[in-house]
Amino acid sequence: MLRSARFWLAVILVCILACFLIRRAVRFHQSAPAPAFTADYSANTDMPQTEKPVTFFTERTTVQTTSASSAAASAHTETVTAETDPEPVPRADEPYLTRSKISELLEHAEMLADLADYTGWLYVPDSAMDYPVMQGTDNFYYLSHSPDGQESQIGSIMLDCRNQRSYADPVHILYGHNLSYGMFGDLRSFKEQAEFDSHKYGWLATPDTLFRIDFFALAVVSGYDSLYDIPCTQEDWLAKIRKSAMYDAGPEIAPEDSLIALSTCTVGEPEQARALFVGRLVPIQQPEDALHP
Residues 153 and 241 occupy one common structural domain: yes
Same domain, 103 and 77: no
Terminal alpha carbon distance of the chain: 127
Give, as one character, the DSSP assignment of residue 288.
Answer: G
pLDDT tens digit string along 159-217? 999 999 999 999 999 999 999 889 999 998 999 999 999 999 999 999 999 999 999 99
Residues 199 and 262 in one domain: yes
According to the model, what pLDDT value does residue 266 have?
Answer: 85
- pLDDT tens digit string along 18-77? 554 455 444 434 433 333 322 222 333 332 333 333 222 223 233 333 333 334 444 444
Please check whether residue 11 lies inside any domain of the structure.
no
Do 68 and 134 share a domain, yes or no? no
Report yes or no on 13 lying in a domain.
Answer: no
pTM of the model: 0.70
Do 110 and 62 belong to one domain? Answer: no
Q: How many domains is the chain built from? A: 2
Are 97 and 291 in contact by the 8 Å Cβ rule? The answer is yes
User: Percent of the chain at pLDDT above 70?
Assistant: 69
The residue type of 40 is D
Q: How far apart are CA 197 and CA 168, in angstroms?
A: 27
CA dist., res. 80 & res. 276, Å (int): 46
CATH number at residue 241: 2.40.260.10
Which H, E and C letters describe 156-189, residue by residue? CEEECCCCCCCCCCCEEEEECCECCCCECHHHHH
Given its phi and psi angles, is residue 284 left (phi above 0), alpha (psi -120 to 50 degrees) or beta?
Answer: beta
Residues 232 and 133 in one domain: yes
From 49, 83, 117, give the residue that closes a domain: 83
